[in-house]
């Protein structure tokens, strides 16, 4: 079965989101990049409509990734996006490396586990929320966002974060790709592409 993608929005920005350098070897900035990507979705939803319950109003809900997505075409997916095409060739090269690394980490289930400390605007999908969802119709259930472990370029200067989510009352899937670069010891968002599966 073919999956059809409808691109509803790509967001370019140069907003500083989190501090620190990154080592491509030990990936110490997974948490910062995932947090920055989740908050960017919450603060700049653009085409994403949040289907929030009473418990999740004004927040975004983190869930552990399921590693079910096929990421074999992730670099080609990037190549198709106007926001990516507008970047300098050297930046595109670094982001392709990061996308390849993300694919490798996901294939190895190099998991991004639930962090112990989160921004107050990010909720963890707990057993309590799961129990409430079991009593709801699927379109009333919590809208979940599952970040995969970030991918890094070989020099550690670029990163890509993919978050899998839902939209339209959990009836359809969505993928959010956020691209980062490191400038002066700080992570800067280059662009985000939102893909809604029909």
**Token pair for 173:** 């899937």
105 phi, psi to nearest 5 deg: -65, -40
CA distances for 123 relative to 60, 104, 169, angstroms? 6, 27, 19
Look at residue 3 in the predicted model and tell me its pLDDT: 36
The secondary element (H helix, E strand) that includes residue 41 is helix 30-43
Digitized pLDDT (tens) for each residue of the chain, 198 residues in all = 333 333 334 444 433 344 333 344 446 788 899 999 999 998 888 767 777 676 777 888 888 887 666 666 677 778 778 888 889 999 999 999 999 999 888 888 876 666 666 788 888 888 888 888 788 887 787 888 989 889 999 999 999 999 988 777 677 788 899 999 999 999 999 999 888 877
- Report the predicted TM-score, pTM, of the whole model to 2 decimal places: 0.80
Q: Whose CA is closest to 3, among 189, 173, 176, 184?
A: 173
Predicted local confidence at residue 115, as pLDDT: 65
In this prediction, residue 138 carries a pLDDT of 77
DSSP letter (8 states) at residue 186: E
At residue 111, the pLDDT reads 65
User: Concatenated DSSP letters for 122-170?
Assistant: EEE--HHHHHHHTTS-GGGS--EEEEPPPEE-TTSSEEEEEEEEEETTT
User: What Å distances lie between residue 14 and 110, 158, 181, CA to CA?
Assistant: 29, 14, 9
> What confidence score (pLDDT) does residue 1 get?
35
The token pair at 179 is: 């691209």
| Pair of tokens at residue 168 | 């339209």
pLDDT of the residue at 92: 93
Query: What pLDDT score does 12 carry?
Result: 41
Task: Quote the pLDDT of residue 191.
Answer: 92
Tokens at 46, concatenated = 């653009």
Across-strand partners of 124?
62
């Amino acid at each position: 079965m073919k999956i059809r993608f409808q691109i509803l929005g790509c967001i370019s920005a140069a907003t500083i989101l989190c501090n620190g350098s990154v080592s491509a070897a030990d990936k110490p900035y997974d948490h910062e990049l995932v947090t920055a990507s989740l908050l960017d979705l919450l603060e700049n939803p653009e085409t994403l409509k949040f289907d929030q319950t009473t418990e999740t109003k004004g927040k975004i809900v983190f869930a552990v990734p399921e590693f079910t997505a096929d990421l074999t075409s992730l670099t080609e997916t990037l190549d198709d996006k106007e926001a990516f095409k507008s970047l300098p060739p050297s930046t595109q090269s670094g982001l392709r490396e990061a996308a390849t690394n993300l694919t490798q980490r996901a294939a190895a289930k190099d998991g991004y586990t639930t962090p112990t400390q989160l921004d107050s605007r990010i909720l963890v999908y707990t057993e309590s929320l799961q129990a409430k969802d079991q009593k709801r119709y699927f379109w009333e259930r919590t809208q979940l966002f599952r970040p995969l472990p970030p991918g890094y370029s070989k020099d550690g200067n670029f990163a890509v974060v993919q978050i899998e989510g839902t939209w339209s009352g959990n009836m359809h899937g969505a993928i959010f790709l956020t691209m980062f670069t490191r400038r002066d010891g700080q992570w800067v968002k280059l662009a985000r592409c939102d893909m809604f599966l029909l």
